[in-house]
């Protein structure tokens, strides 16, 4: 069989040889851009997984062969630029509002009960 992309299923597959008392061969799934082996090569236990880092290593491994080695202009992402506040002269359009249905108050109460200490404001939905 091919390896699973889901961690939970991958973990279960590791026990199948013993559970089934039969030979089990797990083959690399070539439908993914990054194999488990490639992921293990670039993964750095000292920091959380990072898509930019994976993309850098994928390019170095030749995953994107036939594609440009770098973007026009040399920058892959603009996340740092997107963290800036909007200039004061730009006004956002008003948020769309919808009349709450019969289920909405129940869901809002559940979210408040379970996640009330998280960021955000439920009042905009009520």
Q: What is the pLDDT along the chain (126 residues), one digit of tens a residue?
A: 898 888 899 899 999 999 999 999 999 888 876 777 777 776 666 666 666 767 776 777 676 666 656 677 777 778 888 888 888 999 999 888 888 899 999 999 999 999 988 888 888 775
What span, in angstroms and rounded, lies between the C-alpha atoms of 42 and 47?
11
Dihedral in degrees, nearest 10, Cα atoms 29, 56, 81, 47: 80
pTM to 2 decimal places: 0.39
Q: What are phi and psi of 72, to 5 degrees?
A: -60, 130
């Amino acid at each position: 069989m091919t390896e699973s992309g889901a961690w939970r299923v991958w973990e279960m597959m590791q026990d199948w040889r013993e559970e089934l008392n039969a030979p089990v061969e797990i083959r690399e799934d070539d439908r993914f851009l990054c194999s488990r082996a490639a992921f293990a090569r670039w993964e750095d236990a000292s920091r959380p997984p990072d898509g930019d880092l994976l993309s850098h290593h994928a390019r170095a491994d030749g995953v994107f062969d036939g594609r440009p080695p770098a973007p026009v202009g040399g920058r892959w992402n603009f996340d740092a630029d997107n963290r800036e506040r909007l200039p004061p002269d730009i006004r956002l359009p008003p948020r769309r509002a919808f009349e709450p249905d019969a289920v909405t108050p129940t869901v809002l109460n559940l979210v408040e009960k379970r996640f009330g200490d998280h960021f955000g404001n439920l009042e905009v939905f009520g």
